[in-house]
Structure 1
């Protein structure tokens, strides 16, 4: 499906795909002449669900707690940062006229996008702090350029005019559950058909794991369906690490099943939030987890649970989910 520009936007505009309500606190009033006391952060229960955080809970409920409720810091990784860089380059390339969207131009964008990324995220400086000669950084940037170049063998950007890039979408289901995320690219054909595209800098999964890989895309398709009443014609995963393209054409029944799964998942999250019982689940992915020092599976002790555990009614004030509260409409 070739796409044309000018399609109606699918989302509410800018924002972030953060899966929880912002952690903010009111500044307390102070007497004249006294120093301002630092605001105490207000920890809130999960308020919405993104594909990443849904995946966290399915992988390990305790990991979800560490990331969403405790907000424990995590070190940046070379692989994830390279993915962010490649995404930025592919997004920016479409700023150029169609005839100028070439592989050399795309590769030339890598250094500048890396500079912008470092400016916006100073913590990334630690990635190459032990590389004074810059050899490892040069190899890393070269790997990013290779991934960008491989994309041209999979898609022809001179024939694409995306309707949206890095599109923030959010929809509230009838149950009250809010779903949100960021779609890499949305193509809209002259006939109105919608294609959702996501870039992956890793390798394509084996066929038996393809369903898990498509979960994120079906999540996005569900949000678009609920927002616009349009079932996307195609979901497309572009794997730059292996040079593969995985496609799937959803139907309403698929998305209804995803919705039921997400409602059940949200109910499990609500119950864990109320009880404070976040069970760790050890998998082969634990080796890459930043939180093993505080994980019981590795002899650690989680930090004190920051939300109240109470049997008060669901209508108690304060915005904290209480025991006994059920997922609306579930």
Structure 2
């Protein structure tokens, strides 16, 4: 396996030493825009949750708890009936989410339309597969492994299905629409990242990766092999080397892309005439409890 050495002339990490951590979402941030990665991981700048992001969290929560019901009770009506209670639970855990909608009649109408869209996404899920005939092995499972380089890979998998023969399927729900031609590889990177972690932890390559797009009912399936996962590991290590170089040089170069219009940090981005805050003296990327908690809510739907 290829190992990674620091770019500053430091000695290679001792066996078992963790030099940093990376999740699929944060890796995706760096690939999208290194400055976005810096704002989120180094500066830890707050971001305002969007209705689409929170709806994704809500729908994921319903689909997680749907499988707590007996198989025969997993119906469209039961799932849609869980939206209200799950939304109330989220509001109780994060009261600031109440600010998503104005506290007037217009806000109530907007929230109702928002919940109706979530209900349509759940209905679409039932057209994609029948949960009455499924018994997931694990749901919202946290996985992590440390590579020989000392880099820790971590993340949350929406669902793991295990066949009687032991073959594993990794399932991820997306509340957005399927990517167009030319963007599938980017979507599959997250799934290959999870498959790499599972392979390193359990010693077997997952049989199937399945992305379910509740926005349009499309399903993207991919069967990886060892060569795929070794290539994914090389890509992850190369990304980490690029991140380390940016940390050493302070060069977090912004990259204009189609997501700029939705970025909370547009006003402080040099591409748009802004000025980033001063860098911390020597940032160290380590997984903190807050990082792990937020990873559970990371949704790459937009």
Pairwise TM-score range, normalised by the shorter structure: 0.7 to 0.9
Q: Does residue 290 of structure 1 match 2:264?
A: yes
The DSSP-based 3-state class of the residue aligned with 1:284 is: coil
Distance 1:304 1:277 in 2: 12
In 2: Cα distance, 1:139 partner to 1:320 partner:
40
Change (3 A) 1:183 1:320: closer
Aligned residues: 268
Cα distance change of structure 1 residues 135 and 177 upon mapping to structure 2, 3 Å threshold: same
1:123 aligns with 2:96: yes
Match of 1:267 among 224, 241, 250: 241
Q: Is the 8 A contact 1:131 1:137 kept in 2?
A: no
How much has 1:320 moved relative to structure 2? 8.0
Which residue number in structure 2 is paired with residue 173 of structure 1?
147
- 5 Å-filtered alignment, 1:82-231, equals 82-129=55-102, 131-133=104-106, 134-231=108-205
The answer as to whether partners of 2:135 and 2:161 remain within 8 angstroms in 1 is: yes
Contact 2:41/2:285 (CA < 8 Å) preserved in 1?
no
Q: Structure 2: which 5+ residue stretches go unaligned? A: 1-17, 287-302
Q: Which has the higher contact order (CA 8 A, sep 6+)?
A: 2
Select the residue among 273, 276, 286 that pairs with 1:299: 273
Q: How far apart, in 1, do the equivalents of 2:191 and 2:174 lie? A: 12
Change (3 A) 1:128 1:211: same
- Separation of aligned partners in 1, 2:133 and 2:282: 54
Matches within 5 A, 1:303-314: 303-308=277-282
In the superposition, the TM-score normalised over structure 2's length comes to 0.86
Greater per-residue helix proportion: 2
**Rounded Cα–Cα distance in structure 1 between residues aligned with 2:92 and 2:222:** 37
Q: Deviation at 1:274?
A: 1.5
Return the index of the structure with the highest Cα Rg.
1
Q: CA deviation at 1:227?
A: 0.5
Provide the rounded CA distance (Å) in 2 between the counterparts of 1:299 and 1:46. Answer: 34
How many angstroms apart in 2 are the aligned matches of 1:306 and 1:171?
28
Report what 1:276 is aligned to: 250
Q: Secondary structure of 1:214's match?
A: helix
Shift of 1:208: 1.9
Asked if 1:80 is matched to 2:69, the reply is no
Q: Secondary structure at the residue paired with 1:175?
A: coil
2:281, 2:27 → 1: CA distance?
Answer: 20
For 1:216-255, what aligned pairs fall within 5 Å after superposition?
A: 216-255=190-229
